[in-house]
Amino acid sequence: MIIISNLNKRFGSKEVLRGINLKIYDGESLVILGPSGCGKSVLLKHIIGLLKPDEGQVLIDGEDITQFDQKRLDALRMRMGMLFQSAALFDSLTVEENIAFGLRKHTTLSDLAIHHIVSEKLEMVGLPGANHLMPSELSGGMRKRVGLARAIAMEPEIILYDEPTTGLDPIMTCAIDELHLSLKERLGVTSIVVTHDLNSAYRIGDRLALHYGGRIVAIGTKEEIIHSPDPLVQQFIRGEAKGPMTLL
């Protein structure tokens, strides 16, 4: 289980996280919704230890990872995968080398075994045979799918998705959502998804949380969120420009 307790983070004078409290249960899929620039990606980066909070704790299986040294953090990251907003593929490596990066670094698998795993993951994200392409030859959506293949290559227990379906067409969005659900079903993966895509959120989320003003202002199942009386929630899910939620 992941427990985020009273997490605070400030960049200069801007307070991005103001006492975030969240619990993510094993095997659960939690979707974090919220307007652009409210700090959702910053929250994800705290969960994988890329950022240190000014205050607060991130407990994974009961251990506060904000106090981990580099060695323990690396051991934890071997159990996690992250899909970045920009996919963050290594420009100088081919698709296959990108996906195989973690496997080559941290396992003793043979080149052939790694090639099979890479091909299997590419098939899963709908890009069979893309092994030898360079990232510069891929469209935005394809880059994102390769990023996802890289995130799942080591079969992690926890996957963090930063806007996994942004830039994808509706069919591919649905395919990625189905992949997400099948990973959850097959491997019991715990996932935390940051997205703006409500349809996708409703499809994949066991629970949905609304992040606004540095806090989690609402959390619940799809039905609870849809029927929430909170005006912030209603404004966000209806996509209204006017309301208590101001544009950042």
Q: Are the C-beta atoms of 8 and 18 separated by less than 8 Å? A: yes
Find the largest Cα–Cα distance for the chain.
57
Residues 6+ apart with CB under 8 A from 182: none
Selected range binding another protein among 5-13, 75-83, 165-173, 227-235, rule: CB under 8 A: 75-83
> Cα separation of 130 and 4, whole Å?
38
- Binder of another protein out of 21, 67, 86, 246 (CB under 8 A): 86
Two tokens, residue 192: 């935390």
User: Scanning the structure block, which residue is given the tokens 């040294």?
Assistant: 69
CB 84 to another protein: min, Å? 5
CB 48 to another protein: min, Å? 5
First to last CA, the chain: 32
- Binder of another protein out of 106, 116, 132, 227 (CB under 8 A): 106
- Binder of another protein out of 21, 54, 61, 90 (CB under 8 A): 90
Output 150 or 184, the one with its CB closest to another protein.
150
Instruction: Rule CB under 8 A: say whether 36 interacts with another protein.
Output: no
- Binder of another protein out of 70, 108, 110, 136 (CB under 8 A): 70
Cα three-residue angle 66-72-76, rounded to 5 degrees: 85
Q: Please give the size of the binding site for another protein, defined by CB under 8 A.
A: 23
Phi, psi of 150 (to 5 degrees): -65, -40
Instruction: Rule CB under 8 A: say whether 50 interacts with another protein.
Output: yes
Residues forming contacts to another protein in the complex (CB under 8 A) are: 45, 48, 50, 70, 74-75, 77-78, 80-82, 84-86, 88-92, 101-102, 105-106
